[in-house]
Amino acid sequence: MTPEELLEQVKQKFGDTVTESEVKGVEVRLTIKPEASWEACRFLRDAGFEYLNCLSGADWMTHLEVVYDLSSLRHPNKVHLRVPVDRANPVVRSVTDIWRAANWHERECYDLFGVRFDGHPDHRRILLPEDWVGFPLRKDYADERLVPYTDYGMEEKLPRPEAAPGAPKAAGPPKAAAPLPPTEP
């Protein structure tokens, strides 16, 4: 099965829940609405993608995103599946019943981004202490202990290439939003 055929199948099956799609080499890149994400994962697993390489999150300021990287041990195709979720109420259905590997990945994603995984068997923080406040990898997370990046003025001096369309703007240093409650217990 070529990546193109796979993409066709997915599009047929999931119709307009597939908002973006692209084939890049052996990799199929998909964006799917959260309500169809579990079914899509299930479909892809049955299509031979039995190996969940990575599950990560990203904060696009407007929305959060859960990213699944899938591959197969039998054929070279890969899938890069992105599921945008609402920032205020980030819930997506857990895929731990499809790949057990998702267990700790989803816990990490919850820990650092605050995405809730519906149906996760052990929904706890994993890297941070259990009483930590806030989700540190969100772009608006502020912490006075965080050392911001400084380029000593290099950014302005050098010519700036055109940003690709659709790409987000550079986030810049975190804006001092409403101060958070102290994190020290």
Partner 1 sequence: MEREKPIPIGTTAVMERTGETMEEMYVNMGPQHPSTHGVLRLLLKLDGEYIIDCVPFIGYLHRCHEKIGENRNYTQIIPYTDRLDYLASMSMNFGYVLTVERLMGVKVPERAEHMRVILAELQRIASHLLWLATFGLDLGNFTIFIYCFREREMVLDLFEAVSGQRLNYSFYRIGGMPMDFPDTWIDDCKAFLDWFKQRLPEYDALMGDNVLFQKRVQGVGAIDPKLAVDYGLSGPMIRSCGIRWDLRRNDPYSVYDRFEFEIPVFDTCDVWARYMVRRQEMAESARIVEQALAQLPAGDIMAKMPKNIRPPAGQVYCRTESPRGELGFYIISNGSVKPYRYKVRSPAYVNLSALPEMLKGCLVADVVAVLGSVDIVLGEIDR
- Contacting residues toward partner 1, per CB under 8 A: 50-54, 56, 58-59, 67, 69, 71, 73, 76, 80, 99-101, 103-105, 112, 114, 124-131, 133-137, 141, 146-149, 151, 154-155, 158, 161, 163-164, 167-171, 180-181, 185
DSSP letter for 66, please: E
The distance of closest approach from Cβ of residue 180 to partner 1 in the complex, given in angstroms and rounded to an integer, is: 7
The distance of closest approach from Cβ of residue 108 to partner 1 in the complex, given in angstroms and rounded to an integer, is: 8
| Closer of 169 and 175 to partner 1 (Cβ) | 169
Report d(CA 110, CA 137) in Å as an integer: 10
| Closer of 93 and 111 to partner 1 (Cβ) | 111
| Closer of 15 and 170 to partner 1 (Cβ) | 170
| Closer of 16 and 157 to partner 1 (Cβ) | 157
| Closer of 2 and 35 to partner 1 (Cβ) | 2
The distance of closest approach from Cβ of residue 34 to partner 1 in the complex, given in angstroms and rounded to an integer, is: 19
**Cα dihedral: 39, 41, 43, 46 (round 10):** -140
The distance of closest approach from Cβ of residue 106 to partner 1 in the complex, given in angstroms and rounded to an integer, is: 11
CB atoms within 10 A of CB 138: 18
| Closer of 35 and 74 to partner 1 (Cβ) | 74
Question: By the 8 A CB rule, do 1 and 26 touch?
Answer: no
Question: By the 8 A CB rule, do 109 and 60 touch?
Answer: no
The distance of closest approach from Cβ of residue 51 to partner 1 in the complex, given in angstroms and rounded to an integer, is: 6
Does the CA dihedral 103-128-116-11 come out positive or negative? negative
The distance of closest approach from Cβ of residue 9 to partner 1 in the complex, given in angstroms and rounded to an integer, is: 22
How do 51-59 and 64-71 pair as beta strands?
antiparallel
Does the CA dihedral 102-112-79-86 come out positive or negative? positive
Question: By the 8 A CB rule, do 79 and 69 touch?
Answer: yes
